Chain A
């Protein structure tokens, strides 16, 4: 039996940039790690910290949040708010020593199919090396 660790990563992609970037990567037949489960959201600022936390606590080994590059948000400034909230959450995990590296924020535009595949593959590789998330598979949590 294959016992190699296969990570389970949740990706929150904004509808206008990163999701379109993922589409482009797919239609360009680029190689993309299959361990990422994509959830499409209308804007990166839609992502409440609870969504990220519940992912981490109930099964995800890593969480990727992706949105439009700063200045390019479809709603003008949503990604600026997202960036702040992300920084807040990451800092909390950092202070409590709860593996903040399992969170990643990336800006991926609709035309960056290649960048999308690179970001996903690199992050998946990083999470594979980090191993299973102790928050997710712990009967005490």
Chain B
């Protein structure tokens, strides 16, 4: 059981009220969430400091223009924000932020993390130029019923970690049938309870997990097994890998949007990975042909070896890929067994060290023989 507040309003209005009250009562100085950019549905992350402006905020809007964990890391790279800020993020965005904090790329202090039991987001390509009103309705209908909308990002359709780790407040969304009339916000941490002390709404104590949430988890697990099975049929072995990455332009967009790829000087963007006349000659001698752009498989395998163990499966990489390579599915598929080996869930716990940055003396004893 955990403390919760119940607001007798529809979910979107209730969250607006919560944010507005936090801002008006001066508990926080800013709200970091999605902002409406036009009437057709374009959104961008934005920091609100004025309570009246909040009417343009869309905290639960089912699109992720950028993994906000990455943005919060930019905000707090040189230490905590000076004033408390509430950030409304998706569970995978929080996990990405935690992973970055572990890598000393951000600071959690002074940030109130608000999240929801996540119904997933749509690929950004869907957003382009179309009116999103009917899609919004369709989205909330599927979230209520716990149906998995086939148009969602592939990583969202198979996400089992839709209950936020480390959020101070959790908005109940998935599987809540009466979300049009009332909204429950769980207070998971001491920090959450303190901030919510004089928020309008009635105080209760409720269980977040169990029942419906378990059902959704099972549904998502089934979906995951299905997607991975399909993937294994097609994408294993060198031949399939070559086929899959053949259209890769080498734009490195996937690594630029990846919240875990935080290196400012990436080896794959450096001169060491560019071809010189001399290397062209030796490549021809070695391989009997020259693939352009060079080193795509190297880039993807290398990036995988660096970050797949911390992959939060947000799906940004697939979303930005201009040639529709299912990058996120590959990285999730490879990441899953790696995370299993180290019993690691990226972003679950700030105290858990990144697997490649720690060790146990007694492990992998059979290796090295």
Chain A 122-141 interface 0/1 with B at a Cβ cutoff of 8 Å (1 = within): 00000000000011111111
Judging by beta carbons under 8 Å apart, are A96 and B242 in contact? no
Determine how close the nearest CB of chain A comes to the CB of B13; give it in whole angstroms. 46
Give the distance in Å from the alpha carbon of A54 to the alpha carbon of B295 in the complex: 9
Judging by beta carbons under 8 Å apart, are B364 and A84 in contact? yes
A residues less than 8 Å from B297 (CB atoms): 57, 135, 141
Instruction: Give the residue among B298, B308, B363 with the most A Cβ atoms within 10 A.
Output: B298
Determine how close the nearest CB of chain B comes to the CB of A82; give it in whole angstroms. 9
Q: Does A24 sit within 8 A of B, measured CB to CB? A: no
Q: Does B326 sit within 8 A of A, measured CB to CB? A: no
8 Å CB contact of A83 from B283, B290, B298, B367? B367
- Considering only residues 26-58 of chain A, those with a C-beta below 8 Å from chain B are 49-50, 53-54, 57-58
Determine how close the nearest CB of chain B comes to the CB of A32; give it in whole angstroms. 19
- Considering only residues 66-86 of chain A, those with a C-beta below 8 Å from chain B are 69-71, 77, 80-81, 83-86
B residues less than 8 Å from A91 (CB atoms): 337-338, 341
- Considering only residues 343-361 of chain B, those with a C-beta below 8 Å from chain A are 355-361
Determine how close the nearest CB of chain B comes to the CB of A113; give it in whole angstroms. 18
Give the distance in Å from the alpha carbon of A81 to the alpha carbon of B367 in the complex: 13
Q: Does B306 sit within 8 A of A, measured CB to CB? A: yes
B residues less than 8 Å from A4 (CB atoms): none
Q: Binding site of B, secondary structure by majority: helix, strand, loop or mixed?
A: helix
Give the distance in Å from the alpha carbon of A83 to the alpha carbon of B302 in the complex: 17
Q: Which residue of B lies closest to A71 (CB)?
A: B361
CB contacts between A and B, total, < 8 Å: 109
Known: A84-B363, A89-B305, A136-B286. 13 other contacts (CB 8 A): A49-B305, A50-B267, A53-B302, A83-B363, A84-B358, A88-B309, A88-B355, A91-B338, A96-B241, A105-B367, A138-B238, A138-B287, A141-B287
Judging by beta carbons under 8 Å apart, are B359 and A84 in contact? yes
Chain A 73-116 interface 0/1 with B at a Cβ cutoff of 8 Å (1 = within): 00001001101111111011001111000000111000000000
Given contacts A77-B359, A84-B355, contact A141 B286 (CB under 8 A): no
Judging by beta carbons under 8 Å apart, are A96 and B236 in contact? yes
Q: Does B280 sit within 8 A of A, measured CB to CB? A: no
Give the distance in Å from the alpha carbon of A140 to the alpha carbon of B248 in the complex: 12
Q: Does B210 sit within 8 A of A, measured CB to CB? A: no
B residues less than 8 Å from A57 (CB atoms): 295, 297-298, 301
- Considering only residues 175-231 of chain B, those with a C-beta below 8 Å from chain A are none
A–B complex contacts, Cβ < 8 Å, 17 sampled:
A49-B306, A53-B301, A81-B357, A83-B363, A83-B364, A84-B356, A84-B363, A91-B338, A92-B301, A92-B304, A92-B308, A95-B338, A96-B241, A98-B241, A137-B287, A140-B291, A141-B242
8 Å CB contact of B359 from A80, A107, A137, A141? A80
Q: Does B288 sit within 8 A of A, measured CB to CB? A: yes
Task: Report the contact-size class of chain A (Cβ under 8 Å from the partner).
Answer: 35 or more
8 Å CB contact of B367 from A87, A135, A136, A138? A87
- Considering only residues 260-300 of chain B, those with a C-beta below 8 Å from chain A are 267, 283, 286-291, 295, 297-298
Determine how close the nearest CB of chain B comes to the CB of A132; give it in whole angstroms. 11
Determine how close the nearest CB of chain B comes to the CB of A11; give it in whole angstroms. 14
Q: Which residue of B lies closest to A67 (CB)?
A: B368
Give the distance in Å from the alpha carbon of A129 to the alpha carbon of B113 in the complex: 56
9 shortest A-B CB distances, which residue pairs? A139-B289, A49-B305, A80-B359, A107-B368, A97-B236, A97-B237, A139-B287, A140-B242, A50-B302
Determine how close the nearest CB of chain B comes to the CB of A136; give it in whole angstroms. 7
Q: Does B334 sit within 8 A of A, measured CB to CB? A: yes
Judging by beta carbons under 8 Å apart, are A88 and B368 in contact? no
Q: Which residue of B lies closest to A65 (CB)?
A: B368
Given contacts A59-B286, A81-B359, A92-B301, contact A139 B364 (CB under 8 A): no
Judging by beta carbons under 8 Å apart, are B305 and A98 in contact? no
B residues less than 8 Å from A141 (CB atoms): 238, 242, 287, 291, 297
B residues less than 8 Å from A49 (CB atoms): 302, 305-306
Judging by beta carbons under 8 Å apart, are A81 and B334 in contact? no
Q: Which residue of B lies closest to A84 (CB)?
A: B359
Give the distance in Å from the alpha carbon of A113 to the alpha carbon of B154 in the complex: 53
Given contacts A53-B301, A91-B337, A92-B305, contact A80 B291 (CB under 8 A): no
Q: Does B25 sit within 8 A of A, measured CB to CB? A: no
B residues less than 8 Å from A134 (CB atoms): 238
Instruction: Give the residue among B357, B364, B367 with the most A Cβ atoms within 10 A.
Output: B367
Q: Which residue of A lies closest to B309 (CB)?
A: A88
Determine how close the nearest CB of chain A comes to the CB of B97; give it in whole angstroms. 23
Give the distance in Å from the alpha carbon of A141 to the alpha carbon of B292 in the complex: 10
B residues less than 8 Å from A96 (CB atoms): 236-237, 241, 301, 334
